[in-house]
Amino acid sequence: MARPEDPDELCSKRKAIMTLLPYTVWQEQDGQPEMLYMLQRAAGASMMLEFTWRHIKPFAIKLLSKASPRAIVLASPHIPWSSLTITGDLVQQWVTATSAVPYTEEVAQSVVNTLLWIASLRRISPHITTDVWSWLKRRPQLPPVCWGRRFGTSPEVIKAVRGLKDIEVLKSYLLLVWSEWDILYDVFWEMRALIQEDFCGIGMGCHRADLIQRLDDVLWQLDQILEYLKQDDPGFDEHSLQSMMRQYQKLREILLEINIRMPSYPIITLSRMLI
């Protein structure tokens, strides 16, 4: 196995793995998706956004018209969606594939990863359908470093998710993107407003409980993994960690404050109050 201090060997291994992409697609068409699953897991564990060798990217785009729905979905996180060569028609082909492929954890991870990336791109995001957004409810565990995480908390994505008016999708979105791997930075205020406006009702108590539990988990993880986070971002330091923790702690405090103002009364008590 290549060591972290051996970048040339690591680069060589990644090139070799991604050169197998055409072969894995052909195998998948013959009913043997195992190698494609392995490639997906290797990419997810790489801790690099640019895992895909750049010479493979043109082939990855062609997958949208050549491969099976499962192959399209599994390879979709490696398609350069930010490229101006990507059209709405290509996004629609991906959308069609997501509706035709059976659920697996790898499939859900790929769909959500790609969905959050596309949703951040105003030029092509309107082609995302409500059915694709519903994949968020699967809540797959995203790779620590991926394009979906990089762009998934952009203001464009937050606006799109809120616009769906589906509280389960909205909650699932927050449970996915609140992570020790995701720094909120400029979207903290959007997150704060979202909580105060969309999760403020009495009937939202169970949703707030889920969100508080998620924030507890994130804060616990952040307290454990400073050195590990530095592997992804060498510039990450104790000050950055404390900034992240303060943001997540504040969101948790807001949820708790809402709970105090909006206690979860039993149904019988609510009925008597209405009488």
Residue ranges per structural domain of the chain: 182-275
- pLDDT at site 170: 98
Residues in CB range of 5: below 8 A, 6 or more apart:
none
**Helix axis angle, 34-44 relative to 105-119, nearest 10°?**
50
Cβ pair 205, 168 in contact under 8 A: no
- pLDDT at site 122: 94
Question: Model's pTM, two decimal places?
Answer: 0.78
Confidence of residue 198 (pLDDT cuts 50, 70, 90): very high
**Alpha carbon 216 to chain centroid, angstroms:** 19
The CA–CA distances, whole Å, from 181 to 12, 148, 187, 228, 241 equal 27, 12, 15, 10, 11
| pLDDT tens digits, 38-81 | 766 666 555 556 555 455 566 666 666 677 888 889 888 888 89
Cβ pair 85, 181 in contact under 8 A: no
Residue among 46, 41, 52, 45 at smallest CA distance from 81: 52
Residue 256 structure tokens: 């708790």
Average pLDDT over residues 244-272: 77
The CA–CA distances, whole Å, from 95 to 104, 111, 131, 251, 255 equal 17, 9, 9, 33, 35
> Is the pLDDT score of 167 beyond 60?
yes
- pLDDT at site 44: 58
The CA–CA distances, whole Å, from 229 to 76, 77, 166, 182, 235 equal 26, 22, 33, 11, 10
Residue among 22, 86, 84, 93 at smallest CA distance from 53: 22
